[in-house]
């Protein structure tokens, strides 16, 4: 879009072209944006078809073509071109889009509140919840279902076996931990079942030890039913919540003899959750992810965090509705609608928190790559991890400055 605006300035003397053909040649301008500009700026009866519009029209007109297929979009564009109000095309396009965003929502349209209910063919045939038809990601989704329901991945009969499995993961990675870390916390660590009174609504989590070291750090695992406990993401979960994720980072911060007292308990989500997510990507270096299901577990968590970047930004910066964010998540991951709705409402209530994971992870990976490139053979991954961990939680900009200074100092040593 930015490139397109520059082109308008340079090639069209700052006057936006008023034909679809010309607008469509601008970089970053697709058919939807072209139609929106033409109808808003020039009052031209041009279609602006996005996902909301396709959802509404597929129901109103009972269009059963698969909207995931690019050629189906043409059907909707032609339908809008026929129906559009030539007196006020901008209001027509905007109204359709808003109807899809607020009333004609993805899985449970609010038909009783709908102003076009009298004209909606799907409402009369009772098919409003089945439309639109969208086959996208079916293969991926069916694989998610396969993994979720695979009894081979639910091998345990009692809770202790599940806790023991996490300790086995820890034992397997121990020899490799020393290759990546030269420090380890003194704070003791254990894996426990989440208390019964709260486990039905809990996620796995880390609970830090006490500042004086008398209480251990605990990785809590909710296990309401051991026979349906699916192991496919156990390795990435252990790396993130336990070692070398939250247990290493938080314990080393609390044990530091360099940090002032108030910084020992300071928390910045971009750093803390960024570190934990970064450690999920260390699985191969730590001798894990040899089982493809475990690797898939890590990748599906990556996807979940990447989706957050889109939906959190969409809602808090781009004017997305709750329903648009739910639809986007449903299209791109295989969690249940109930779980996705709960997640989206979490992001609504706490802007930016959920996207801090991926932003922090990307920054740490970027700094690692930069240090590796600039220091070459002098790059030592153990020193790099020390540099990250010894600061305790800080804003990412400060972390970046610190690592840049460390790289510069080490380059001078090389000379
Ligand atoms: S009646 Fe229901 S399905 Fe039809 S357009 Fe309105 S909200 Fe959507």
Q: Tell me the per-residue pLDDT of 307-355, one tens digit each, with 9 for 90 and over.
A: 999 999 989 988 888 888 888 887 777 666 777 888 899 899 999 888 8
Q: Is 362 part of any domain? A: no
Measured by CA distance, the residue closest to atom 1 of ligand 1 is: 117
Mean pLDDT of the chain: 91
Q: Is 414 part of any domain? A: no
Give the model confidence (pLDDT) of 177-233 as tens digits: 999 999 999 999 999 999 999 988 788 999 999 998 899 999 999 999 999 999 999
State whether 106 and 157 are in the same domain.
no
State whether 179 and 276 are in the same domain.
yes
Query: In terms of DSSP H, where are the helices of 181-288?
Result: 196-199, 234-241, 246-255, 269-280
The DSSP H or E segment spanning 9 is: helix 2-11
Q: Is 139 part of any domain? A: no
Is residue 151 within 8 Å of 230, Cβ to Cβ? no
Q: Is the full-model pTM beyond 0.85?
A: no
Is residue 219 within 8 Å of 208, Cβ to Cβ? no
Q: Is 13 part of any domain? A: yes
The DSSP H or E segment spanning 193 is: strand 189-193
* Atom of ligand 1 at shortest range from CA of 113: 7
State whether 210 and 119 are in the same domain.
no
d(CA 108, CA 330): 13
* Atom of ligand 1 at shortest range from CA of 111: 2
Domain end position, chosen among 307, 328, 349: 349
State whether 219 and 268 are in the same domain.
yes
> Measured in angstroms, how far is the CA atom of residue 117 from the centroid of ligand 1?
6
Q: 232 exposed, middle or buried (CB, 10 Å; 0-12, 13-18, 19+)?
A: buried
Is residue 232 within 8 Å of 296, Cβ to Cβ? yes
Domain encompassing residue 51? 2-125
Q: Is 325 part of any domain? A: yes
Q: Give just the sign of the alpha carbon dihedral 204, 358, 296, 328.
A: positive
State whether 119 and 193 are in the same domain.
no
> Measured in angstroms, how far is the CA atom of residue 214 from the centroid of ligand 1?
60
State whether 204 and 257 are in the same domain.
yes
Give the model confidence (pLDDT) of 44-100 as tens digits: 999 999 888 999 999 999 999 988 787 888 999 999 999 999 999 999 999 999 999
> Measured in angstroms, how far is the CA atom of residue 67 from the centroid of ligand 1?
17
123 lines ligand 1 (CB under 6 A): yes
Pocket test of ligand 1: the residue of 53, 57, 59, 323 to mutate, having most ligand atoms within 8 Å of its CB, is 59
């Amino acid at each position: 879009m930015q490139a397109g605006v520059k082109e308008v300035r340079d090639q069209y003397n700052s006057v936006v072209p008023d034909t679809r053909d010309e607008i469509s040649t601008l970089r970053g301008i697709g058919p939807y944006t072209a139609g929106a500009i033409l109808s808003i700026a020039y009052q031209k009866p041009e279609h602006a078809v996005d996902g909301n519009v396709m959802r509404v029209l597929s129901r109103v007109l009972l269009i059963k073509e698969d909207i995931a297929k690019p050629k189906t979009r043409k059907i909707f564009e032609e339908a809008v071109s026929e129906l559009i109000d030539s007196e006020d095309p901008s209001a027509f396009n905007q109204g359709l889009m808003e109807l899809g965003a607020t009333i004609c929502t993805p899985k449970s349209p609010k038909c009783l509140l709908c102003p076009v209910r009298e004209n909606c063919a799907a409402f009369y045939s009772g098919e409003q919840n089945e439309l639109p038809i969208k086959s996208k990601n079916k293969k991926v989704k069916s694989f998610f279902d396969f993994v979720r329901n695979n009894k081979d991945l639910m091998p345990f009969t009692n809770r202790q076996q599940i806790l023991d499995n996490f300790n086995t993961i820890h034992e397997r990675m121990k020899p490799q931990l020393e290759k990546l870390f030269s420090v380890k916390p003194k704070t003791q660590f254990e894996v426990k079942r989440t208390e019964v009174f709260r486990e039905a609504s809990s996620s796995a989590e880390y609970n830090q030890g006490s500042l004086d070291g008398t209480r251990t750090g605990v990785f809590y695992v909710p296990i309401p039913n051991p026979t349906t406990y699916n192991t496919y993401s156990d390795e990435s979960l252990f790396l993130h919540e336990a070692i070398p994720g939250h247990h290493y980072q938080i314990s080393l911060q609390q044990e530091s003899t360099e940090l002032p007292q108030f910084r020992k308990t300071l928390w910045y989500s971009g750093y803390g959750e960024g570190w934990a997510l970064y450690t999920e990507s260390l699985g191969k270096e730590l001798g894990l992810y040899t089982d493809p299901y475990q690797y898939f577990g890590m990748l599906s968590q990556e996807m979940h965090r990447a989706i957050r970047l889109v939906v959190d930004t969409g809602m808090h910066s781009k004017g997305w509705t709750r329903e648009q964010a739910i639809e986007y998540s449903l299209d791109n991951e295989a969690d249940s609608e109930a779980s996705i709705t709960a997640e989206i409402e979490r992001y609504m209530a706490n802007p930016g928190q959920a996207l801090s994971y991926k932003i922090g992870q990307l920054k740490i990976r970027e700094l690692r790559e930069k240090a590796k490139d600039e220091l070459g053979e002098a790059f030592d991954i153990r020193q790099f991890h020390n540099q990250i961990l010894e600061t305790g939680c800080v804003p990412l900009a400060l972390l970046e400055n610190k690592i840049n200074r460390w790289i510069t100092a080490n380059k001078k040593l090389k000379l």
